[in-house]
Amino acid sequence: MDSLTQIVLGAAVGEAVLGRKIGNKSMFYGAIAGTIPDLDFLSSFFTDTVTALEIHRGITHSIFFSVVFSPILAFFVTKYEKYKNLKDWSWLFFWAFITHPILDAQTTWGTQLFWPLDIRLAFKNVFVIDPLYTIPFLVFLILTMIQKKESKKRRFYNNWGLIISSSYLVLTLILKGFSYQTFTKELAKQNIQYSEIKTKPTPLNTILWTANIETKDTFLIGHSSFFDENPIQFSSYPKNHHLLDDLAKHPKVKRMIKISKGFYTINKIDNILYFNDLRFGALSIQPNAENFVFKYKIEVDENGIPFFTEVPKEKRDAKKLLAELWLRIKGN
Partners of 264 in the beta sheet?
277
Burial category of 28 from C-beta neighbours within 10 Å (exposed 0-12, middle 13-18, buried 19 and up): middle
DSSP line for 62-97: SHHHHHHHHHHHHHHHHTTSS---HHHHHHHHHHHH
Tell me the per-residue pLDDT of 110-151, one tens digit each, with 9 for 90 and over: 999 999 998 999 999 999 999 999 999 999 999 999 999 999
- pTM of the model as a whole: 0.94
Q: What is the pLDDT of residue 302?
A: 87
Partners of 235 in the beta sheet?
221
- Mean pLDDT for the chain? 95
Which residue from 188, 192, 136, 169 is spatially nearest to 12, judged by alpha carbons? Answer: 136
Instruction: Summarize the chain as % helix, strand, coil (round to 5).
Output: 50, 20, 30
Which residue from 229, 237, 289, 288 is spatially nearest to 266, judged by alpha carbons? Answer: 237
CA 72 to chain centre: 27
Q: What is the pLDDT of residue 81?
A: 95
Could you tell me the end-to-end alpha-carbon distance of the chain, in angstroms, rounded to an integer?
29
Q: What is the pLDDT of residue 317?
A: 87
Task: Please tell me the distance from the alpha carbon of residue 200 to that of residue 194, in angstroms, as a whole number.
Answer: 17
CB 65 within 8 A of CB 59: yes
Tell me the per-residue pLDDT of 239-286, one tens digit each, with 9 for 90 and over: 999 999 999 999 999 999 999 999 999 999 999 999 999 999 899 988
Q: What is the pLDDT of residue 220?
A: 96
Q: What is the pLDDT of residue 303?
A: 86
Task: Please tell me the distance from the alpha carbon of residue 24 to that of residue 273, in angstroms, as a whole number.
Answer: 52
- Determine which helix (DSSP H) or strand (DSSP E) holds 310, and give its type and residue range: strand 306-310
Q: Tens digit of pLDDT per residue, the chain (332 long)? A: 999 999 999 999 999 999 999 999 999 999 999 999 999 999 888 999 999 999 999 999 999 999 999 999 999 999 999 999 999 999 999 999 999 999 999 999 999 999 999 899 999 999 999 999 999 999 999 999 999 999 999 999 999 999 999 999 999 999 999 999 999 999 999 999 999 999 999 999 999 999 999 999 999 999 999 999 999 999 999 999 999 999 999 999 999 999 999 999 999 999 999 999 999 989 998 887 888 999 999 999 888 899 999 999 888 888 899 999 999 999 98
Task: Give every CB contact of residue 174 below 8 A, 6+ residues apart in sequence.
Answer: none
Which residue from 118, 98, 91 is spatially nearest to 6, judged by alpha carbons? Answer: 98
How many residues would you count in the chain? 332
Q: What is the pLDDT of residue 263?
A: 96
Q: What is the pLDDT of residue 56?
A: 94
Q: What is the pLDDT of residue 332?
A: 87
Q: What is the pLDDT of residue 287?
A: 80
CB 121 within 8 A of CB 194: no
Domain ranges of the chain: 3-173, 190-332
Task: Please tell me the distance from the alpha carbon of residue 153 to that of residue 163, in angstroms, as a whole number.
Answer: 15
- Per DSSP, the three-state class of 219 is strand
